[in-house]
Amino acid sequence: MKLILSRVQRFSTADGPGIRTTVFFAGCNLTCKWCHNPETQSFQPQVLRFSTGKEECSGTETTVQEVFALVKKDADFYTESGGGVTLSGGEPLLQPNAATELLKLCKEAGYHTLVDTAGAVSFSTFEKVLPYTDLFYYDIKAATEKAYLRYTGGSYRLVSENLIKLRAAGANVVIRIPMIEGVNTDARSRKKIADLCERAGIEEIDILPYHKMGVSKYDALGMPYEMKGKRRTPKALLSRNAEYYKARGFTVKLQK
Q: Which amino acid is at 15?
A: D
- Give the CA angle between residues 53, 55, 57 to the nearest 5°: 170
Q: Summarize pLDDT for 12-64 with one digit per residue, the tens.
A: 999 999 999 999 999 999 999 999 999 999 999 999 999 898 999 999 999 99
**pLDDT for 212:** 84
Q: Which amino acid is at 71?
A: V
pLDDT class of 145 with cuts at 50, 70, 90: very high
SS3 category, 234: coil
**Least confident stretch, 174-183, 195-204, 229-238:** 229-238
Q: Summarize pLDDT for 102-117 with one digit per residue, the tens.
A: 999 999 999 999 999 9
Which domains are assigned to the chain? Answer: 2-254 (3.20.20.70)
Nearest by Cα to 102 from 88, 120, 90: 88
Average pLDDT, whole number, for the chain?
96
The rounded percent of the chain whose pLDDT value lies above 90 is 93
**pLDDT for 214:** 85
- 133, pLDDT greater than 90: yes
pTM attached to this predicted model = 0.96
Torsions phi, psi of 106, nearest 5?
-65, -45
Contact partners, residue 114, CB within 8 Å, separation at least 6? 15, 16, 20, 84, 85, 86, 87, 133, 134, 135, 136, 137
